[in-house]
Structure 1
Amino acid sequence: MSDFRPLSADYSVAPQISIEDVAAAKAQGFALIVNNRPDGEEPAAPQGDAIAHAAAAEGLAYAAIPVGHAGFSHPQLDALDKLLVAATGPVLAYCRSGTRSTHLWALARARAGDDIDAICDAAAKAGYDLSGLRPMMDALAGDK
């Protein structure tokens, strides 16, 4: 059962997806699946290659930007920015709970100059609290 949570018109997040969720993503119009979960983090969960294979079978693009316990980096934000620019349709990103995928998106959008309150509101509507991330978002927005 899919649990896709929209953060914007073209970006949604989800907790760990199953192989079956890939077909549901296709049916809901997603064009790209972004895996933010490092392989091996949960051996029982479908690993990146399995999701990539299922995505290819459905005609969906797939990319991995693993976010481990070390946190976020500018190269990860850069990678997401490049994927979003190149995406041919809506994007579905996932990790264990959807939190890292939400945080990565929020940091990238803050760095791009989007309204931080609006970013936080969108995340809250999807069930994610960005209050702890606010100082980093403010710092990234100030880098502009």
Structure 2
Amino acid sequence: MSDFRRVTDDFTTAPQISIADVAEAARQGFRTVINNRPDDEEPGQPSSAEIEAAAEAAGLAYFHIPVRGGPTPEQVEQTKALLSQVETPILAFCRSGTRSIVTWSLSQAQSGALPRGELVTLGRNAGYDLSGVLGG
């Protein structure tokens, strides 16, 4: 079972999830899955297509925004637009969850949805250090 880390009522991050984790996410009430991990980053990781099929079977919306290193401005913008359109709660994942929370937090800071200091605190509470990305 993956390590789901609740950041807000509407957004949770996780390290790499399995096919079984998708069904568990649906049981826990998640409505949308965002995959921030590029395919073939590591041998044996489930592909985006496999996670998408599991999400579809579980009745979840699925989006793939693969981030290599840090998110690009376009990926942050894509995430910001997506967050305003999808059903919550959202489960976002990558290898460790870091790229997911960084991409999300930058989109939140840009949109003004949450202040940077609060985002750093939310990240810390979920086990991520966002101070280098957001300051504070």
In which range does the TM-score fall when normalised by the shorter chain?
over 0.9
Cα-to-partner distance string for 1:60-115 (whole Å, 9 max, x where unaligned): 0100011012x221211121112211112210000000000010011111111221
Cα distance 1:9–1:42, how it changes in 2: closer, same or farther (>3 A)? same
Is 1:54–2:91 an aligned residue pair? Answer: no
Alignment-derived partner of residue 127 in structure 1: 127
Is 1:75–2:74 an aligned residue pair? Answer: yes
Q: Distance in 1 between matches of 2:24 and 2:72?
A: 31
Q: Distance in 2 between matches of 1:110 and 1:104?
A: 10
Alignment-derived partner of residue 87 in structure 1: 86
Equivalent AA in structure 1 for residue 80 of structure 2: D
Is 1:39–2:39 an aligned residue pair? Answer: yes
Q: Distance in 2 between matches of 1:133 and 1:82?
A: 20
Alignment-derived partner of residue 109 in structure 1: 108
- Asked whether the equivalents of residues 35 and 93 of structure 2 are also in contact (C-alpha less than 8 Å), the reply is yes
The two structures, once aligned, show a CA RMSD in angstroms of 1.2
Identity %: 47
Q: Distance in 1 between matches of 2:71 and 2:97?
A: 15
Aligned length: 135
Gaps of 5+ in 2: none
Gaps of 5+ in 1: 139-144
Alignment-derived partner of residue 142 in structure 1: none
TM-score, length basis structure 1: 0.89
Is 1:8–2:5 an aligned residue pair? Answer: no
Is 1:19–2:15 an aligned residue pair? Answer: no
TM-score, length basis structure 2: 0.94
Return the structure number with greater helix share: 1
Cα-to-partner distance string for 1:13-47 (whole Å, 9 max, x where unaligned): 00000000001100111111000000111131111
Q: CA deviation at 1:118?
A: 0.7
- Asked whether the equivalents of residues 3 and 14 of structure 2 are also in contact (C-alpha less than 8 Å), the reply is yes
List 4+ stretches of structure 1 deviating above 6 A.
none
